[in-house]
Amino acid sequence: MPPPEISRSTTWQVSKSGQPCPVKEPFASTLFTWCRRLADLNLLGPTPNGFKGSLSYRHGLGFVITSQQTSLKQPSSRDLVFVDAWNVNTGRIQAHGAGELTTTCLYHAMAYQNRAGAIFAIHAFNPGLEKTARQMGLPETDGRFSPGDSRAVDTMTADLGKGNLLIMRDDGILSIGCTADDAAVQILDLAQRAGLNC
């Protein structure tokens, strides 16, 4: 099934400027490298309509994230979206680029908003990852709310605590780090613990 549309108690409104997404090197190249590697390892949730996972990096006051329809095995700059403003209270998101935002972009947004040291974020998806993370006692979001629901986003900071890994119940794992390698290695370590032969 394709990822659900962004939804909440009041509908999220995405304002697109029509301007292309700015690409920052070497961040974009590093992001693409990890897109391909994690997708090849089946850690980004391949579906008939694309991938459930997403990767992002901090840019200015916002962040650049892979779009919903990105082929994460063959990503390009055309697949990136720049989110430079969001407001949980009003349900507004301002973005630039041709791609459609994923529902989990709000988790990326809150990670960057509340963690000054976070430069990269990865939303990985594989049932084995979530099961193992739960066995390890990692923090978990409230399963009553969908990823785009404002109530889920509101509790994300408390759910994450001081760690860098968060179980997004029934929707994968969010990993944050000060480098792409930091965020990705945490996912790879979890995958090894899960016996996923990574």
Tokens matching residue 93:
């998101």
Decide if 53 contacts 126 (C-beta within 8 A). Answer: no
- 13-193 homologous superfamily: Class II aldolase/adducin N-terminal domain (3.40.225.10)
- State mean pLDDT over 18-33: 92
d(CA 94, CA 188): 32
Question: Rounded to the nearest 10 degrees, how much is the dihedral formed by the CA atoms of 179, 192, 65, 79?
Answer: 120
pLDDT of residue 104: 77
pLDDT in tens, 148-177: 666 666 666 666 767 899 988 888 899 999
Number of neighbouring beta carbons within 10 Å of residue 179: 13
Q: Is the pLDDT of residue 35 over 80?
A: yes
Q: Work out the angle at residue 173's Cα, subtended by the Cα atoms of residues 158 and 140, and round it to the nearest 5 degrees.
A: 35
Q: Is the pLDDT of residue 10 over 70?
A: no
Helices (H), 47-194: 105-114, 127-135, 150-154, 156-160, 180-193
Domain ranges (residues) in the chain: 13-193
* Of 140, 176, 172, residue with least CA distance to 159: 140
Q: Is the pLDDT of residue 96 over 80?
A: yes
Q: Is the pLDDT of residue 124 over 70?
A: yes
Identify the residue with better confidence: 121 or 5: 121
Partners of 173 in the β-ladder: 124, 167
Strand, coil or helix: what is 150? helix
